Structure 1
Amino acid sequence: MQWGSIITPEALNHMIAQNAVKCVKAALEGQAPELDGCRAGPNCMNQYGYYPLHRAAEFFSVDMIQLLIRHGASANLRTAGAEVIEGLLPLHVAVENTCMHKYLEDSLFPNHEHRDYSEADAHFIFKLIHLLCLPEMKIFLDSTRLIAKHTDNLLDELWNYIKDGKLAETAILLLAAQEQIRVGTSCKKIGNSKADGFQVIYECIINNSIKLQSEKGQNLMEKEELETKIKLHHTAMMLVHVISKAGEGLESYIRNHLEVSQCW
């Protein structure tokens, strides 16, 4: 369990996996007589290439996430190594694992990217938002919201999801992190604007759509792929608009839910 005076990352990882909040607190503080001065590092990578906060994000333990952050865990460390998908932030783990919830997997339209931009897209967006606002999704959004508060360059991560056509991931991050997005947050790739992040993202979508339209006319071989990206951009634009207008009310509604027990 320890190397000299350091509790191993694997031991800490096991405690987090068991959601043993009191044990993790004792390990981080290192003040229990039984530990003989040993303590765990909140930012030590384990043998699989990820960090304690990634593990807590995977299990959506709000108490564990709060504890780790309070003891100095960084939300800006990325996975690395052959045993894991590289470059993932804890935020990515929370958002993308939320997308694996059975409500989203079972209820959203398959092959959405191949549909025309029409009333069906509005139906998709409203259904997605409706599912995310169910009481069963509260713990997932609460975990994502907490991690997002401590993640740098948040708009960059949101923009990456939009560019990649990941509408469910975009909706989760927009809904969970809207407080930071509204006040403006610094970002590397799309400028260091302190304006309303919803407006910044909206303008990025418009500008990129114009760029894609111009490329569509020049490259007939990729025309279908470009049309798909343009349609997804239009749908993402609608999603940004809806949450920018109704998001605060939705967030208040979600926060008032009682916590629902999850079956893992």
Structure 2
Amino acid sequence: MVKYYRGYDGIIQGLIDGDKKDAFVARIHQEAQSVGGYDVYQSLMLTQILACIVHQSALNCATALLQGHTGLTPDINAVHPDDASAPPLHCSSDDPELIELFLRYGARTDIRFQGFLPLCCAIDNISIHTHFIGWSTRQSIYMTIVFMCLQDQTELLECVRLLFRATNEVEKEIYRYVKDGKIIQILALLMVAREEVTSPSLFKGLCDPALDGNMSLRQLVLSEIVSLMASRVTLVSTSEEALDELNNKLETMMSMLSLIQVFERAGDKIELHRRYLTKLCPKLLAAQIACLLINEGLAEYKDFELKSHDDGSAQTRIVSSFNLDFLEILELKLNKGMQLGSGITKIYKHYADNMWIPRLSDHPPTLEPMTIPLLSNEDDAKGSSPLKVSLEKLCHHPYLNDWTPKKSTFKLVCILCLPQLKESLESIRLVACKTEGIEAIGCNLARQGKLIELASLLMVVSGSSDMRSNAIRRCVTSDLQALVDSEFKLKGRSSSHKLVDEKEMKLSALLLLEVFERAGNSINHYLQSDTYNEGRRSRLKIAREIQNLLEKAGFAMKSKDADLNDIKCFSPAFDSVDHISLPSTLRFRQFSVAAEKKHMQRASKSFHTMVRGNSKCRGPRIFAPTPKALKHGIPNVNREWFLSLGVVIAKLIKRV
């Protein structure tokens, strides 16, 4: 278009650059008359003029254009058919006065240009202009907060605030930011609209119906953390890239939870520092914000040290130099115990970790676990008590004595598939068929951390219509969210390790649910096959076949999951007759040759005496085999077992 109006670059451009309103208006009238009218001039040049005004932030020229002083009627909501140019509101994301002007004259905030709202453009503009060079999981989120509080971010944050107030359904954009792990974007929203973003009902209608249509930002982040934890436990792919990506996402979500924690506890104080300490230089203001975070027990001195990522650029050197000077000022303030006002007490660097005492009034309400009906006496009367007894009886089986939750959950599945436990599982199945409320029983077992009972119940009722694992999954997920939240609040405290153990227990329960959902039918089909029931297959071979079924179901078996050496029942020392499960009187004993002969004679004599001693007894006489016959007629391995059995039988006959 410039070729038709050679004076555009030299005159119009210069007037817009200088924001000379009167000269700009006069030039527009002159040009419009020269081309045959305002309509012709508007069709040819209005788009370029409006784009130049936005680019140069010419507020006076924009005001004259929108007020109609130029005779042109611009449509500030128009989108070019081929998306060649964005609407003015999308392009003015760094000038709050221009945004306010466009909003006053009817600019729409719901128009998407290439999929982005004006609010999204303003938020993304902050991540581009921030001092911090690309936040990553290697860096601390607290240093990003410090950078965001500096004065040169004020105008950018004001743009976000204006667009946030004028945009409807912002919760959908926040929801997307959380799902994508956009830390800087969430930080910008917390800086300008903390109360709205942390509202308990922010995601109304975008969450699980079980939450009554309400979900807060904290709950959404916690649900993402739990989901990633569960995905890491049940990871299908064994590639290092997939595992690294999953871990990075999890670390990002944990940093986002830290961010929410900061603004829930100290958001008002951060806002006061940012508004009323504007006269301080950036390094002093950064040190004040850092002292505030340390004093609130949210951060430590080491959290403000940037990780070295020197790429040789000038911006990197500037940031590194700023960080070194800022740390020097911060250390000086901490060592001197400088008071920060607003009731903030003295704090020293080496006491920072020990002075935090949580203030419950500042904390949001802890997530309540999903309501699952506990077992009552009425439930016991309906048959839950026999099921409970059967499950507890199985837990005392010798094969399960040395299994603990710290060992692989896959090994527990392998143990339960052994033939020696088939009878116990069958009795549990018979009792479970007559028991009502299996779903509630499973939830209680998962909540109490009884993994062996839960695995046994899932094994016998997997695929049954009476057992829906989704309810148990929701129950475990809800408890796990509460544990993660509590662990995060008590981070560094003495009681936090207990929460870690409980969290690992819940993750193991989720893994059990996943195992029997994805491989339950295959396992049951194998246990009913002729290959399993015919012949005498070793326990180790059965375990290997179960592991193969789990791998085919998509579970990534690690080396520690496949190694069965730490489980006694898979040890070669265990004999095939499973004597350890027999009563103590029937177990094998080790004797010397002389002791063995003496013991055989005593057992034989006792047996003859009891059978022949009563001469008045009627019926056929029973003669015990002689020691010599026992010696030659019974295999050496089982000879002592038969003799012990004879002693027991003799004692029973004597009692009768």
Map 1:64-213 → 2, pairs under 5 A: 64-79=98-113, 86-101=114-129, 103-105=131-133, 112-113=136-137, 115=138, 124-182=140-198, 185=202, 189-190=206-207, 200-213=216-229
Structure 1 residues 62 and 189: alpha-carbon distance in aligned structure 2, compared to 1, 3 A threshold: same
Alignment-derived partner of residue 74 in structure 2: 40
Q: Aligned pair 1:13/2:51, yes or no?
A: yes
Alignment-derived partner of residue 82 in structure 1: none
Any gaps of 5 or more consecutive residues in structure 1?
80-85, 116-120, 260-264
Structure 1 residues 191 and 28: alpha-carbon distance in aligned structure 2, compared to 1, 3 A threshold: farther
**Per-residue CA distance 1:240-262 (angstroms, 9 max, x = gap):** 11112222232233344659xxx
Match of 1:100, SS state, is helix
Match of 2:131, SS state, is helix
User: Shift of residue 128 of structure 1?
Assistant: 0.8
User: Shift of residue 96 of structure 1?
Assistant: 1.4
User: Shift of residue 162 of structure 1?
Assistant: 2.4
**Per-residue CA distance 1:50-97 (angstroms, 9 max, x = gap):** 11101111xx11110100001111122111xxxxxx211112221112
Match of 2:254, SS state, is helix
Note if contact 1:144-1:176 (Cα within 8 Å) is conserved in structure 2.
yes
Match of 2:243, SS state, is helix
Alignment-derived partner of residue 248 in structure 1: 268
Looking at structure 2, the residues matched to 26 and 159 of structure 1 have their Cα atoms a distance apart, in angstroms, of: 39
Any gaps of 5 or more consecutive residues in structure 2?
1-27, 29-37, 280-656
User: Shift of residue 5 of structure 1?
Assistant: 9.1
User: Shift of residue 200 of structure 1?
Assistant: 0.5
Looking at structure 1, the residues matched to 159 and 278 of structure 2 have their Cα atoms a distance apart, in angstroms, of: 15
Alignment-derived partner of residue 247 in structure 2: 227
Q: Percent identity?
A: 23
Alignment-derived partner of residue 538 in structure 2: none
Looking at structure 2, the residues matched to 257 and 91 of structure 1 have their Cα atoms a distance apart, in angstroms, of: 27
Note if contact 1:153-1:186 (Cα within 8 Å) is conserved in structure 2.
no
Note if contact 2:203-2:217 (Cα within 8 Å) is conserved in structure 1.
no
Looking at structure 2, the residues matched to 133 and 237 of structure 1 have their Cα atoms a distance apart, in angstroms, of: 19
Match of 1:72, SS state, is coil
Letter in 2 for 1:25: T
Letter in 1 for 2:117: L
Pairwise CA RMSD of aligned residues? 3.0
Work out which structure has the larger RCO, using CA pairs closer than 8 Å and 6 or more positions apart in sequence. 1
Structure 1 residues 186 and 205: alpha-carbon distance in aligned structure 2, compared to 1, 3 A threshold: closer
* Superposition TM-score, scaled by structure 2 size: 0.33
Q: Aligned pair 1:29/2:57, yes or no?
A: no
Match of 1:17, SS state, is helix
The structure whose Rg is larger is: 2
User: Shift of residue 48 of structure 1?
Assistant: 2.1
Looking at structure 2, the residues matched to 258 and 4 of structure 1 have their Cα atoms a distance apart, in angstroms, of: 49
Letter in 2 for 1:54: H
